[in-house]
Amino acid sequence: MRSILPLLLTPAILCAQLSPPTLMTSCGKLLLSENFAKPVEAAPPGKAAPGKPATGWRLRPGKWEFVDGAMKGTELAEDKHGAVARFPFAFKDAVIQYEVRLDGCKGTSFSVNDAKDHVCRASVDPKGFGCRKDDNDHDGPDKAVDFGRVDLPIKPGQWKTVIIEILGEEMVTQIDKKAVGGSDPFIAKDKANFGFTVAGDGASFRNLRIWEAKPNLSWSQNKAKLQKKK
């Protein structure tokens, strides 16, 4: 397992072939675009609501609101669990972009999952951001692997754009042209869904986009430059 330490990205090593700017990958076709007009909540498995599809966002636990083109999640004390919004979406490799605003929360994450449990995530809190390979079995031999963290003060009410690249065994996360990432064989698994989590008093999300991820021919050169900055 290898970790890419936090680093500052320069325009020379950013791939701006499509928006968002990418480092490890190139963006293929757009797979999903969500502007957070209030979506249909998924019915429980096998219990599709009359007249509504059985697919869409699952908005629980927590309190979820849709205001001014954003989805806001707030943890509820009675749930004894962070707020979770999850969306069924099968993929393997992807470029993911969204905007996040911290509205008083302790932290948020973009969680990627297989059909069983968690695969990996990017996390954002008032002091910065990071990413990791998640623990997929909890009580078994598998363990979470942190890829690192970037110190980046984020003020309440300030929108930040998060870019996540997943290709094969590797993952890179960027905010404000700073990045952190790493690799683990587990990340290459097939994914079944993704979601947002919120710990604490609130975070808002908007302008979610997911593209097909293709190899960036400059990645080996870019990675070599990054490793020199450790």
Q: What pLDDT score does 90 carry? A: 94
pLDDT (tens place) for every residue of the chain, 230 residues total: 455 555 555 433 333 444 557 889 999 999 998 888 777 665 555 554 444 444 589 999 999 999 888 999 999 999 999 999 999 999 999 999 999 999 999 999 999 999 988 999 999 999 999 999 998 877 778 789 999 999 999 999 999 999 999 999 999 999 998 999 999 999 999 999 999 999 999 999 999 999 999 999 888 887 776 666 55
Report residue 33: phi and psi, to 5°.
-140, 120
Q: What pLDDT score does 3 carry? A: 56
C-alpha R_g of the chain? 17
Measured in whole angstroms, the distance separating CA 172 from the mean position of its chain's CA atoms is 10
CATH of domain 2-34+58-228: 2.60.120.560
Tokens 């090593």 — which residue?
13
Q: What pLDDT score does 17 carry? A: 46
DSSP of 179-225:
EEEEE-GGGGSPEEEEEEEEEES-EEEEEEEEEEEEE-TTHHHHHHH
Q: What pLDDT score does 6 carry? A: 54
DSSP 57: B
Instruction: Tell me whether the omega of the peptide bond preceding residue 88 falls within 30 degrees of 0, making it cis.
Output: no
CA angle, 210 then 214 then 217, to 5°? 140
DSSP of 22-45:
BSSEEEEEEEEEE--S-PPBPPPT
CA angle, 58 then 64 then 69, to 5°? 100
Q: What pLDDT score does 41 carry? A: 65
The long-range contacts involving 167-173, CB below 8 angstroms and separated by at least 24 positions, are 167/24, 167/25, 167/93, 167/213, 167/215, 168/93, 170/24, 171/120, 171/131, 171/133, 171/147, 172/4, 172/23, 172/24, 172/131, 173/122, 173/129, 173/130, 173/131
Q: What pLDDT score does 40 carry? A: 64
Distance CA 58, CA 197 (A): 12
Distance CA 43, CA 186 (A): 30
For residue 208, the one-letter residue type is: L
Q: What pLDDT score does 54 carry? A: 42
